[in-house]
Copies of this chain bind each other. A is one copy, B any other.
């Protein structure tokens, strides 16, 4: 087997010669195909197949000063379709720049995040994109990262002045809550994740702001802010709806809480129980929201675009003078009424 490990590998020049293209074109094709015509890419890949050529990325990265060609991403919950789309957006932009992504799931666990970041840095990633778990900045300081550029997505970390992509959490939550108040609701519950989570805090603030402006008190009895998954959200919705004075509407701060609330509402309907059928405002879209048994207003945004923006910030940082100050991009959200 002439192409097994350790045997001599054909060179990029041999690949280019067989494909009838320049070595630069062959090289660009293998780096992701940016600025290379599809027919030329196809010829290069045919030559690669013919010759059994593989670029040795690790050897390349070991030359001093050479990048590894890897971008590390740590996200909090890959089981949430939102983050699948986010990772896809990063992967697309990374591929356009000839990079690959190393992906890790933190599960909202501080220690796991520290371990992943340390591991990624040890692998000499070109850059890091992180949906941070907590407000602890110590392990994310530039000097702790060996000056590898870091972009935060969705959430900020206090005391860390780095490129960040956020959503308009406060404005979106405010407008969503106002839409419920405009519809005449005054007893509006809140479901969200831990307040230590940056987006949880911001979305609660938007809800609170709208309520306060209209002179409607926020009743702590129908505010539940500690649900990280669908099962916990269902239980929180159940407790709220079982009260003597249940909410007539619920603001849900993310799609895990929305799915949980709707699951509980659906259960009550199937069991033929009377009682509240609360209207829902959901931060985060979800599939088939239009088919729900109660009206669902969606505060929508594009997770894939968020991933693309995060990667774009990272690559502009890699290509630029590092002296540019940290930037924050806040992406707009749109409200979709039922």
In the complex, whether A11 has a CB less than 8 A from a CB of chain B is: no
Complex formed: what's the CA distance from A256 to B44 in Å? 34
Given A78-B88, A144-B52, verify A57-B291 contact (CB < 8 Å): no
Q: Which one of B80, B138, B270 lies within 8 Å of A84 (CB-CB)?
A: B80
Asked if A238 is at the interface of the complex by the 8 Å CB criterion, the answer is no
Nearest B residue to A33, CB-CB = B115
Would you call B57 and A119 a contact (CB within 8 A)?
Answer: yes
Check: A17 CB closer than 8 A to any chain B CB.
no
Q: List chain B residues, Cβ under 8 A from A101.
A: 102-104
Q: Does A49 contact B138, Cβ atoms closer than 8 Å?
A: yes
Q: How far is the CA of A99 from the CA of B120 in the complex (A)?
A: 11
Say yes or no: A3-B146 contact (C-beta < 8 A), given A104-B91, A266-B288, A288-B259: yes
The residue in chain B whose Cβ has the minimal distance to the Cβ of A144 is B52
Bound CA span A2–B146, Å: 9
Tell me if A193 is interfacial: C-beta within 8 Å of chain B: no
Q: Is A332 an interface residue (CB 8 A)?
A: no
Q: Answer whether residue A68 sits at the interface, using C-beta atoms and an 8 A cutoff.
A: yes
Q: Chain B's nearest CB lies how many Å from the CB of A21? A: 15
Contact of A57 among B114, B123, B139 (CB under 8 A): B123
Stretch from A58-66, A168-176, A205-213, A216-224 forming part of the interface with B:
A58-66
Find the residue from A119, A230, A304 having the highest chain B CB count within 10 A: A119
Residues 255-293 of chain A, each 1 if its beta carbon lies under 8 Å from chain B, else 0: 000010011001000100000000000000011101111
Q: Does A85 contact B (CB under 8 A)?
A: yes
Q: How far is the CA of A78 from the CA of B1 in the complex (A)?
A: 35
- Contact residues of A between 41 and 97, Cβ < 8 Å to B: 41-42, 45, 48-49, 52-59, 61-62, 68-70, 78-81, 83-85, 87-88, 91-92, 95
Stoichiometry (number of copies): 2
Pick the most buried of A5, A32, A68, A230: most chain B CB atoms within 10 A of its CB: A5
Q: How many angstroms from the CA of A335 to the CA of B104 in the assembled complex?
A: 32
Kindly list chain B residues whose C-beta atoms are within 8 Å of the C-beta of A48: 114, 118
Give chain B nearest CB distance to A259 CB in angstroms: 5
- Option from B41, B104, B111 in Cβ contact (under 8 Å) with A42: B111
Residues of B within 8 A of A104 (CB): 91, 95, 100-101
Complex CA distance for A112 and B33, rounded to whole angstroms: 10
Query: Given the complex, which residues of B lie within 8 Å of A42, measured CB to CB?
Result: 111
Cβ of A105 under 8 Å from chain B: yes
Verify if A336 is at the interface (C-beta below 8 Å from B). no
A270 touches B290 (CB 8 A): yes
Q: Scan residues 114-128 of chain A and give those whose CB is less than 8 A from a CB of chain B.
A: 114-115, 118-124
**Contact present for B56 and A122 (CB under 8 Å):** yes
Question: Could you tell me if B290 and A287 are in contact, using CB atoms closer than 8 angstroms?
Answer: no
A147 within 8 Å of B by Cβ?
yes
For residue A49, which residue of chain B has the nearest CB? Answer: B139
- A4 at the B interface (CB under 8 A): yes
Checking B143, B270, B287 against A287 with a beta-carbon cut-off of 8 angstroms, the contacting residue is: B287
Instruction: Please encode chain A, from 234 to 252, with 1 for each CB lying within 8 Å of some chain B CB and 0 for all others.
Output: 0000000000000000000
